[in-house]
């Protein structure tokens, strides 16, 4: 784990693949535990998450007011997240938006697209742009901006369109090297209100 920026209110880090973004009992390999040790902070507040397999840039709050303000920015769409991924196949259009209703099944730890709203169903929206297509492997490199942050959102939205992320066996891809990176993060500093962008 690499610390990209820190002050008394926040810490911005680069999470490697394989590390948990949230604290978990009996698991030392978590970002909050590592940050707490490195910065000598008793409390580290996760305000968003990345799947264990996903690497990339994250922000953590180091005070409760900072956590509340960053959570508000996420809810209001002011915190922007950009990802890159490699997917099987090729999108029909070189750029576009995906809108779905997703239901997250906690027991199976999987999200599913559904056709109607009901309890536990949340709207999911992203936009993508194709960066490169490799004909030999029939894979596409895409840039993705999330408008909502649902569990496994990128993974399930592409997989439901027969374009699972390379190596994402949970959502139907053959074995391979999983490739999803949170490459850019932008938000307003919770105390100074300065616009910050990383990546």
Q: Compute the distance between CA of residue 89 and CA of residue 37 in angstroms, rounded to an integer.
A: 43
User: What backbone torsions phi and psi does residue 118 show, to the nearest 5 degrees?
Assistant: -155, -175
Strand partners, 125: 99
Q: Does 105 qualify as catalytic in the annotation?
A: no
Contact residues for 8 (Cβ-Cβ < 8 A; gap 6+): 62, 63
Q: Rg of the chain's alpha carbons, rounded to an integer?
A: 17
3-state SS assignment for residue 198: strand
Residue from 51, 100, 168, 179 carrying the catalytic annotation? 51
Active site residues: 51
């Amino acid at each position: 784990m690499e610390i990209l920026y820190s002050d008394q209110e926040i810490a911005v880090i680069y999470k490697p693949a394989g590390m948990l973004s949230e604290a978990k009992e009996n698991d030392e390999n978590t970002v909050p535990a590592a940050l707490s040790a490195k910065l000598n902070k008793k409390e580290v507040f996760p305000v968003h998450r990345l799947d264990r397999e996903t690497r990339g840039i994250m922000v953590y709050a180091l005070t409760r007011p900072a956590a509340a303000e960053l959570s508000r920015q996420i809810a209001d769409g002011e915190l922007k997240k950009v990802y890159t991924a490699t997917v099987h196949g090729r999108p029909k259009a070189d750029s576009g938006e995906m809108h779905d209703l997703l239901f997250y099944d906690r027991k199976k730890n999987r999200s599913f697209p559904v056709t109607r709203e009901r309890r536990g169903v949340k709207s999911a929206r992203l936009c993508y742009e194709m960066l490169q297509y490799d004909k030999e492997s029939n894979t596409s490199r895409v840039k993705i901006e999330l408008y909502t942050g649902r569990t496994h959102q990128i993974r399930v939205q592409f997989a439901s369109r027969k374009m699972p992320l390379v190596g994402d066996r949970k959502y139907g891809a053959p074995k391979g090297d999983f490739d999803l990176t949170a490459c850019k993060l932008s938000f307003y500093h919770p105390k100074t209100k300065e616009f910050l962008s990383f990546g």
